[in-house]
Amino acid sequence: MAAYSRLGEHGACWLLLGAAGATLDSEPDRRPRWLRAMRVVAASYGLNFLVKLAVCRRRPDLEGLPPLTATVSRLSFPSAHCTTSFAGARAFSGLAPSRPLYAAAVAFALSRAYLGVHYPSDVLGGALLGTAIAEAWPALPPQIADAWSLPLGRAGTETRR
């Protein structure tokens, strides 16, 4: 469980999925959508960090029940694994099958509570934040959405879904 959970650290597995899709997709006109989804995941991670700094909620500390994995920080709300996973599942839907994407997102969410590093509300808050970011992204003005451009694509050349 801990090894699986580590795959979601910093949204790495979702960014890797996007890079692989942008590189390997047999339909080259879909590359901008893969890159856009990567921007959604990266932005969700950044916005999650800002919320964590604003809330400053400490991770669970239960006597006699230590966490089963190490964490990057002591801040708990919202879960970055959940934020990036649900943002990724939503953003990559339509490029990859939705059910496996959401199954992976739910598995990350459950793993964080099981490992004792998040309260259930951290997990729920992260899932809602990630979903909201991915849902709102297409409505953002291009100058804001493109500010999160990754070096894999030239800013302003991608089409938005």
Domain that holds residue 40: 2-148
Q: Residue 160 falls within a domain, yes or no?
A: no
Q: What is the DSSP secondary structure assignment for residue 158, as one 8-state letter?
A: S
Whether the CB-CB separation of 89 and 104 falls below 8 Å is answered with yes
Token pair for 149:
């451009």
Q: Which residues pair with 62 in a beta bridge?
A: 65
- Quote the CA–CA distance of 49 and 78 in Å, as a whole number: 9
Q: Residue 154 falls within a domain, yes or no?
A: no
From 110, 104, 80, select the one nearest 92 (Cα to Cα).
Answer: 104
Ranges 46-55, 60-69, 152-161, most confident: 46-55
Q: Residue 72 falls within a domain, yes or no?
A: yes
Averaged confidence pLDDT in the chain: 84
Q: Mind listing the pLDDT tens digit for each residue in 68-94?
A: 677 778 888 999 989 999 999 999 999
Token pair for 8:
């979601």
Three-state DSSP at 96 gives strand
Q: Residue 159 falls within a domain, yes or no?
A: no
Phi, psi of 96 (to 5 degrees): -135, 160
- Quote the CA–CA distance of 79 and 93 in Å, as a whole number: 21
Q: Residue 69 falls within a domain, yes or no?
A: yes
- The structural domain count of the chain equals 1
Three-state DSSP at 153 gives coil
Q: Mind listing the pLDDT tens digit for each residue in 131-148?
A: 999 999 887 766 666 665
